[in-house]
């Protein structure tokens, strides 16, 4: 599997994402935001966490206009796989690949801690290693993770089984406890929690590891 | 714009004493220009010159086979094997944080991160030690919220995990909070970068954010006491931009990899002045700067303002001219401003030009070599009165009193605002004892701890100084780490008062004895004096940050007690209640002597723990709150109750040093006791971890209830 990790100047989880993907077996390239193309043959794109362009105003808004993001959108529109974590989720909503927005946390403070994450659907390459209803322990680390979409959009997400994860104890005010959502073709996932921070034994928990394993297995088998 | 005339008032406003001004006249043989006066003021203030502290700092042990670079550079460098080094330092941002808590604390973090990556190291861990006034004081809540958000706002965006620190409260900090920021980075031991310039006619390159008027005179402000006019000093606080800092770090490390960097110095306190003088002085060269080439973000800036600006996220470097194209490619990639702003010169001069006019022309080496140095008079502190009787109390009531104090309650409310896991190498997050970070891609880990007990230092600066080092040592030992080296951040009041200077001198004596005995030399540090408001000094607060190495995961102790584990107390218990947490929190008494520190016992007991890690399931050092608080904290971490046989107040809450509480399997307790006795280490069974309550003798409370209190206290006061 050829994976690309997008690097904005303020990305700071890019290495962490690459480590988790490589541990699962992927061949990973780091792709700079000024590039206009993904490396040829890219199967899978990860948009990592961080503060893409400082994010002093709307998180991910400037990143979504970067040259590489056009290539990421094209990749997704061709049916390619994309994972956006934390800032990456914010960027994916700003590009329009995923609906809704991520607002400031309801408590107005940055929160970094392990949270309970409920797997809502196992129907995606990202979640097929889990059973619907599983509760995972995965860290969050964000200031703007309060997911919002209007009632119709939320209903559509739920009706189409596109809510991938919910919080067991909503830490940030997200509508319907939503922590991660899938695109219509189920090949794009955006989520606020950091599975790459729960992916090896040193992390004190490996609940995120299955995600990287099934991504790799599915893409390689395809 | 014409420069103001040099009057006695102007000289005083620059923090220069009449005899110091006379020294300037003697050096240059004429009246200084306004810009020159500013340069002298920047170089000779306490913050930059260490003029009151230098004599005593020289007495600290700074060497050892593990030390690659000791004090004097941007940060200390310590060998961790396999050709790798850990680079670290702690620095204060006390005065700015009191004036403008968010930006003051944020730029404190920015400054220390810059110190680390300037040496060629990628930051991998941060800590911060915070001291605030009485929680009930009207300013405290705002300061706590602002400082914590500022630290988080900067560090989280930059992308360095916070792994530990301290938060304390005492009325002595009502008028001066302390914000001490620590950072550690990882580098190849043979690729460390230093500040000494070399070669004549080499381009001096400015990199990073543009220069504005923020922070002009900041270092001078930080070298004075506060009074009621402090709010007027707000414009001297700098504004941080962590996104630019992140780019500056990446660009700096990439630039270093090209081989273009000859020398490098970050612009911190007193900005362009200090960095340029440092590079020239260390390299035995002069420097000429052409200020019209400095990237500025405000119009009509004067030479004086440019030389004294403390705008953040800026670097000065000397580059190899033949690699200019490679260097430019790196700056362009990261969209950073850079400019060649001058050159090194053979003559020992510091020449400042602006639009062709000479604004300053000074003998460069004398700016530091001739800086004033004082042997300030100091009074040894009188021995404290002996402690009057302390009545026996219900030990559960005593524990509850500690858990209801923000000094001893859980600090999750603080740590959850910091990214503690970015870089995905955090093994142990902040909260209890040392934090642990893996050395990326290796079997090694580094442990970090920040400690000091200011009550002790005030009562007995020598023992208090020793204790700060000993506690940091124990926190490293308790996770299985081998202590390597130390950085110190010495926060005191006005050194012109002999009693304060006495605290300083004696605390350094204690610190020196301890780091020598425990083989953890001081490799970097910072001094913050004049922490006084309206004549009221802070508690003497020499923060000690220590770094230790864990060679393999098997050497690490990073577990919590489980049901049926035996509780063993290592070290001798005499029941020392003088200056204890219990005395302060329950009886509102700060009396008696600090606990004495037996450094030989510290070493012996520490060696015993590290030699027996395979039998030790969980371990914590005993410090504030003694056995009772340590037993509760361990039980809480493991989600299991603890039953201790004793209910004696002094045994439970005494703060004797050189002690650890360990949890082990029932069938290994005997082997541990035999090993201890062979090592000459006192050890006793004090109870066991079991059930769902905390029981001291016959006094008992449900663990759940205590746990709820422990976690609610901080949030209830500050959220």
**Residue A30 CB partners (closer than 8 Å, separation 6+):** A4, A5, A7, A14, A18
Count of beta carbons in the 10 Å neighbourhood of residue B496 = 14
Q: Would you say residue B311 has pLDDT above 80?
A: yes
Phi and psi dihedrals of B607, rounded to 5? Answer: -60, -40
Interface mutation target, options B157, B239, B247, chain A, most CBs of A under 10 Å: B157
- Residues B478 and B556: their CA atoms lie apart, in Å, by 9
Q: How far is B419 from chain A (nearest CA, A)?
A: 6
Asked whether residue B339 carries a pLDDT value surpassing 60, the answer given is yes
Confidence at B505, pLDDT banded by 50, 70, 90: very high
Chain B residue numbers touching A196 (CB-CB < 8 A): 424
Query: A159: distance to nearest CA of chain B, Å?
Result: 35
Query: Is B219 contained in some domain?
Result: yes
pLDDT at B235 over 90: no
B421 closest CB neighbour out of A15, A109, A197: A197
Cα distance from A12 to chain B (closest Cα, Å)? 5
CB A203 within 8 A of CB A20: no
**Is the CB of residue B26 less than 8 Å away from at least one CB of chain A?**
no
Q: Cβ of B152 and A54 within 8 Å?
A: no
**What part of A 20-49 touches B (C-beta under 8 Å)?**
20, 32, 34, 49
Evaluate whether residue B99 is within a structural domain.
Answer: no
CB B157 within 8 A of CB B246: yes
CB count within 10 Å of CB B7 equals 9
Is residue A194 annotated as part of the catalytic site, yes or no? Answer: yes
* Closest chain A residue to the Cα of B426, Cα to Cα: A203
- Tell me how close the Cα of A115 comes to any Cα of chain B, in angstroms: 12
B554 part of a folded domain: no
Residue B49 confidence (pLDDT): 87
A103 touches chain B (CB under 8 A): no
* Average confidence (pLDDT) over B302-331: 92
Give the β-pairing of A146-148 and A163-167: unpaired
Is B159–A113 a contact, with Cβ atoms under 8 angstroms apart? no
Task: Write the residue in A54, A110, A194 that is nearest to B417 by C-beta.
Answer: A110
Query: What local confidence, expressed as pLDDT, does residue B228 receive?
Result: 61
Residue B93 annotated in active site? yes
Q: Which residues of A touch B241 (CB under 8 A)?
A: 54
Contacts of B427 in chain A (CB under 8 A): 202-204
Percentage above 70 pLDDT, chain B: 97
Residue B115's alpha-carbon distances to A71, B84, B112, B252, in angstroms, are 38, 18, 5, 12
- Chain B interface includes A12 (CB < 8 A): yes
Asked if B103 has any chain A CB less than 8 Å from its own CB, the reply is no
CATH number at residue B321: 3.90.650.10
Report residue A155 CA to chain centroid gap: 21
Mean pLDDT confidence for B9-16: 91
CA distance to partner chain A, nearest, from residue B156 (Å): 8
Domain spans of chain A, in order of start: 2-221
Instruction: Tally A–B CB contacts below 8 A.
Output: 89
Mean pLDDT for the stretch of residues B131-147: 97
pLDDT of residue B337: 87
As a whole number of angstroms, the distance between CA B50 and CA B619 comes to: 39
Query: Quick one: pLDDT at residue B233?
Result: 60
Best of A20, A66, A109, A207 to disrupt the B interface by mutation (most B CBs within 10 Å)? Answer: A109
How close are the terminal C-alpha atoms of chain B, in Å? Answer: 49
Split at pLDDT 50, 70, 90, the class of B216 is confident
CB-based contact, B334 to chain A, within 8 Å = yes
- For A2-221, give the CATH class: alpha beta
pLDDT reported for residue B218: 65
> How far B154 CA lies from chain A's nearest CA (Å)?
10
Point out the residues of chain A with pLDDT beneath 70.
Answer: none
Tell me if A56 and B243 make a contact (CB, 8 A cut-off): yes
- Residue B238 pLDDT > 90, yes or no? no
Q: Which residues of B touch A141 (CB under 8 A)?
A: 156, 419-422
* Any domain includes B302: yes
Return the residue matching tokens 């050096």: B27
The pLDDT of B410-418, averaged and rounded, is 97
Instruction: Assess contact for B349 and B361: CB atoms under 8 A.
Output: yes
**Cβ <8 Å between A16 and B420:** no
What distance in Å separates residue B86's CA from the closest CA in chain A?
20
Q: Which residues in B lie closer than 8 A to residue A20 (C-beta atoms)?
A: 424
Query: Which of A5, A7, A8, A9 best tests the B interface by mutation, with the highest count of B CBs <10 A?
Result: A9
Q: Is pLDDT of B232 > 70?
A: no
| The pLDDT of residue B81 is above 90 | yes
Smallest Cβ–Cβ distance between A110 and the set B152, B250, B438 belongs to: B152
Dist CA A188 CA A124 (whole Å): 9
Range in A159-173, B223-237, B636-650 with the lowest mean pLDDT: B223-237
Q: Is B152's Cβ below 8 Å from some Cβ in A? A: yes
Q: Collapsing DSSP states into helix, strand and coil, what is residue B450?
A: strand
Residues B153, A110: C-beta atoms closer than 8 Å: yes
Contact A9 B243 (CB under 8 A): yes
Q: How far apart are CA B402 and CA B415, in angstroms?
A: 20
Starting at the edge strand that comes first in sequence, how are the strands of the sheet with B660-664 ordered? B618-621, B660-664, B566-570, B683-689, B642-644, B693-696, B699-702
User: For residue B231, is pLDDT > 90?
Assistant: no
Q: Give the residue with greater pLDDT, B206 vs B222.
A: B206
pLDDT digit string, tens, across residues B144-194:
999 999 999 999 999 999 999 999 999 999 999 999 999 999 999 999 999
Mean pLDDT is lowest, of A144-158, B328-342, B462-476, for B328-342
Please give the pLDDT value at position B3.
85
Distance from CA of A54 to the nearest CA of B (A): 5
If you write DSSP's letter for every residue of A70-104 in order, what string do you get? Answer: HHHHHHHHTT-EEEEETHHHHHHHHHTSS-SEEE-
Whole-number pLDDT of residue B205: 95
* DSSP-assigned beta bridge partners for residue B264: B317
Strand A44-47 to strand A27-32: parallel, antiparallel, or no bridges (unpaired)? unpaired
CA-to-CA distance for B544 and B129, rounded, in angstroms?
9
Cβ separation of A54 and B242 shorter than 8 Å?
yes
3-state SS assignment for residue B666: helix
Interchain CB distance below 8 Å, A194 and B421:
yes
On chain A, the residues whose CB falls within 8 A of the CB of B415 are 112
Does residue B377 carry a pLDDT above 60?
yes
Taking residues B279-307, what's their average pLDDT?
94
Q: Is residue B235 part of a domain?
A: yes
For residue A222, the model assigns a pLDDT of 72
| Structure confidence at residue B180 (pLDDT) | 98
Q: DSSP string of B58-118?
A: TTS----TTEEE-BTBSSEEEE-STTEEEEEEEEE-HHHHHHSHHHHHHHHHHHHHHHHHH
| B257 in a structural domain | yes
Other Cβ atoms closer than 10 A to B677 = 11
B442 is written with which tokens? 């290796």
* Pairwise CB contact (< 8 Å): A111 & B416: yes
Candidates B244, B334, B424; nearest CB to A197: B424
Question: What's the confidence (pLDDT) of residue B269?
Answer: 78
Q: With CB atoms and an 8 Å threshold, state whether A110 touches B419.
A: yes
Contact: B247, A51; criterion CB under 8 Å: no
Q: Which stretch of B139-143, B220-224, B531-535 has the lowest confidence by average pLDDT?
A: B220-224
Q: Which residue has the higher pLDDT, B588 or B337?
A: B588
Report the gap between the CA of B696 and the closest CA in chain A (Å).
Answer: 32
Taking the C-alpha atoms of residue A53 and residue B438, their distance in angstroms, rounded to an integer, is 28
Task: Please name the residue that has the structure tokens 């959502």.
Answer: A181
Task: Please report which confidence band the pLDDT of residue B620 belongs to, taking 50, 70 and 90 as the band edges.
Answer: very high
ipTM: 0.97
Share of chain B above pLDDT 90, in %: 90
Nearest CB to B422 within list A13, A54, A143: A13
Cβ of B246 and A194 within 8 Å?
Answer: no
Gap between the Cα atoms of B583 and A91, Å rounded: 54
Top residue of B424, B431, B556 to mutate, by most chain A CBs within 10 Å, is B424
Give the integer Cα–Cα distance in Å for B388 and B73: 48
pLDDT of residue B220: 65
Collapsed DSSP state (helix, strand, coil) of residue A138? strand
Which residues in chain A have their CB less than 8 angstroms from residue B554's CB? Answer: none
| Window B:438-497, CB contacts with A under 8 Å | 438
Q: Which of A86, A94, A142, A203 is catalytic?
A: A86
Residue range of the domain that includes B305: 193-367
pLDDT at B234 over 60: no
Dist. CA B206–CA A108, nearest whole Å: 37
Q: Considering chain B, what is the average pLDDT of its residues? A: 95
**Residue B67 scores a pLDDT above 90:** yes
Is residue B299 situated within a structural domain?
yes
pLDDT average, residue stretch B251-266: 95
The rounded distance, in Å, linking the Cα atoms of A24 and B115 is 36
**Which alpha helices (H) appear in B359-440, and where do they start and end?**
364-369, 395-403, 412-415
Question: Cβ neighbours of residue B130 under 8 Å, at least 6 residues apart?
Answer: B144, B147, B148, B165, B166, B167, B168, B177, B178, B179, B180
Is the residue at B296 inside a domain? yes
Note whether B420 contacts A13, CB cutoff 8 Å.
no
A 10 A CB-CB count for B129 gives 25
Model confidence pLDDT, tens digit, residues B386-409: 899 999 999 999 999 999 999 999
**Residue B417 to residue A199, Cβ atoms within 8 A:** no
B422 to chain A, any CB pair closer than 8 A? The answer is yes
Residue B654 tokens read as 């005494």
Residue A88's contacts (CB-CB under 8 Å, 6 or more residues apart) are: A6, A46, A47, A48, A49, A190
Q: Give the number of other Cβ atoms within 10 Å of residue A74's Cβ.
A: 12
pLDDT at B237 over 90: no
């Amino acid at each position: 599997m050829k994976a690309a990790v997008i690097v904005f100047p303020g990305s700071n989880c890019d290495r962490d994402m690459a480590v988790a993907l490589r541990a699962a077996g992927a061949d990973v390239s780091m792709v700079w935001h000024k590039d206009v193309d993904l490396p040829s043959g890219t199967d899978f794109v990860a948009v990592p966490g961080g503060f893409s362009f400082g994010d002093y105003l709307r998180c991910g808004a400037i990143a979504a206009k970067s040259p590489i993001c056009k290539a990421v959108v094209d990749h997704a529109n061709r049916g390619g796989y994309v994972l956006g974590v934390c800032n990456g989720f914010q960027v994916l909503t700003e590009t329009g690949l995923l609906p809704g927005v991520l607002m400031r946390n309801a408590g107005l403070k940055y929160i970094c801690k392990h949270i309970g994450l409920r797997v809502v659907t196992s129907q995606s390459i990202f979640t097929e290693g889990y059973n619907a209803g599983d509760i995972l322990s995965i860290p969050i680390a964000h200031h703007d993770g309060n997911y919002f979409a209007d009632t119709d959009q939320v209903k559509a997400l739920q009706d189409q089984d596109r809510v991938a994860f919910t919080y067991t104890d909503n830490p940030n005010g997200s509508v319907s406890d939503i922590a991660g959502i899938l695109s219509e073709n189920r090949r794009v996932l955006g989520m606020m929690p950091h599975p790459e921070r729960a992916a090896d034994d040193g992390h004190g928990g490996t609940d995120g590891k299955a995600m990287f394993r099934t991504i790799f297995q599915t893409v390689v088998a395809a | 714009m014409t420069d103001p005339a040099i009057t006695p008032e102007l000289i005083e406003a620059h923090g220069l004493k009449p005899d110091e001004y006379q020294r300037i006249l003697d050096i240059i043989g004429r009246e200084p220009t306004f810009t020159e006066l500013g340069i002298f003021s920047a170089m000779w203030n306490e913050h930059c010159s260490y003029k009151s502290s230098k004599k005593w700092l020289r007495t600290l042990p700074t060497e050892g086979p593990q030390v690659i670079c000791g004090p004097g550079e941007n940060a200390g460098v310590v060998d961790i094997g396999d050709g790798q080094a850990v680079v670290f330092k702690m620095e204060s941002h006390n005065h700015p944080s009191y004036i403008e808590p968010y930006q003051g604390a944020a730029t404190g973090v920015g400054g220390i991160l810059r110190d680390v990556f300037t040496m060629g190291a990628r930051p991998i861990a941060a800590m911060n030690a915070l001291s605030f006034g009485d929680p009930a004081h009207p300013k405290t809540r705002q300061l706590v919220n602002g400082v914590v958000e500022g630290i988080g706002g900067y560090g989280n965006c930059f992308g360095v995990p916070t792994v530990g620190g301290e938060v304390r409260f005492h009325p002595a900090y009502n008028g001066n909070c302390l914000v001490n920021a620590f950072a550690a980075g990882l580098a190849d031991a043979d690729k460390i970068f230093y500040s000494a310039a070399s070669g004549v006619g080499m381009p001096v390159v400015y990199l990073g954010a543009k220069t504005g008027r923020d922070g002009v005179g900041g270092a001078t402000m930080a070298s004075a006491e506060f009074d009621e006019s402090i709010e007027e000093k707000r414009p001297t606080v700098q504004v941080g931009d962590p996104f630019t800092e992140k780019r500056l770090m990446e660009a700096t490390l990439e630039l270093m990899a090209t081989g273009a960097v000859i020398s490098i110095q970050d612009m911190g306190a007193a900005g362009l002045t200090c960095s340029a003088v440092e590079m020239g002085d260390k390299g035995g060269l002069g420097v000429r700067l052409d200020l019209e080439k400095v990237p500025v973000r405000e119009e009509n800036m004067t030479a004086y303002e440019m030389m004294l600006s403390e705008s953040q996220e800026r670097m000065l470097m000397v580059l190899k001219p033949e690699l200019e194209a490679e260097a430019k490619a790196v700056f362009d990639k990261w969209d950073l401003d850079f400019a060649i702003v001058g050159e090194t010169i053979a003559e020992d001069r510091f020449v400042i030009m602006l639009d062709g006019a000479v604004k300053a022309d000074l003998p460069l080496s004398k700016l530091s070599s001739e800086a004033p140095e004082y042997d300030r008079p100091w009074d040894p502190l009188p021995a404290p009165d002996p402690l009057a009787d302390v009545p026996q109390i219900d030990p559960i009531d005593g524990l509850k009193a500690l858990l209801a104090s923000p000094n001893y309650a859980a600090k999750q409310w603080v740590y959850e605002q910091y990214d503690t896991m970015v870089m995905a190498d955090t093994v142990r997050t902040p909260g209890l004892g040392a934090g642990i970070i893996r050395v990326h891609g290796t079997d090694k880990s580094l442990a970090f701890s920040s400690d000091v007990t200011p009550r002790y230092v005030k009562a007995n600066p020598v023992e208090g100084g020793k204790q700060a080092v000993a506690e940091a040592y124990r926190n490293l030992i308790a996770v299985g780490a081998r202590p390597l080296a130390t950085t110190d951040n010495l926060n005191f009041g006005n050194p012109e008062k002999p009693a304060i200077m006495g605290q300083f001198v004696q605390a350094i004596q204690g610190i020196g004895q301890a780091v020598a005995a425990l083989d953890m030399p001081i490799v970097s540090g910072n001094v913050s004096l004049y922490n006084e408001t309206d004549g009221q000094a802070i508690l003497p607060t020499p923060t000690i940050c220590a770094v230790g190495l864990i060679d393999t995961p098997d050497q690490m102790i990073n577990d919590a007690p489980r049901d049926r584990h035996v509780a063993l107390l290592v070290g001798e218990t005499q029941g020392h209640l003088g200056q204890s947490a219990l005395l302060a929190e329950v009886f509102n008494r700060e009396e008696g002597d600090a606990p004495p520190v037996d450094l030989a016992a510290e070493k012996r007991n520490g060696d015993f723990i590290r030699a027996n890690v395979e039998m030790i399931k969980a371990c914590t050092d005993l410090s504030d709150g003694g056995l009772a608080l340590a037993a509760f904290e361990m039980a809480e971490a493991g989600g299991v109750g603890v039953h201790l046989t004793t209910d004696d107040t002094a045994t439970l809450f005494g703060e004797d040093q050189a002690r650890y509480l360990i949890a082990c399997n029932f069938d290994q307790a005997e082997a541990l006791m035999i090993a201890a006795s062979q090592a000459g280490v006192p050890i006793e069974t004090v109870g066991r971890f079991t059930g769902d309550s905390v029981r001291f003798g016959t006094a008992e409370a449900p663990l759940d209830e205590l746990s709820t209190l422990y976690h609610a206290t901080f949030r209830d006061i500050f959220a």
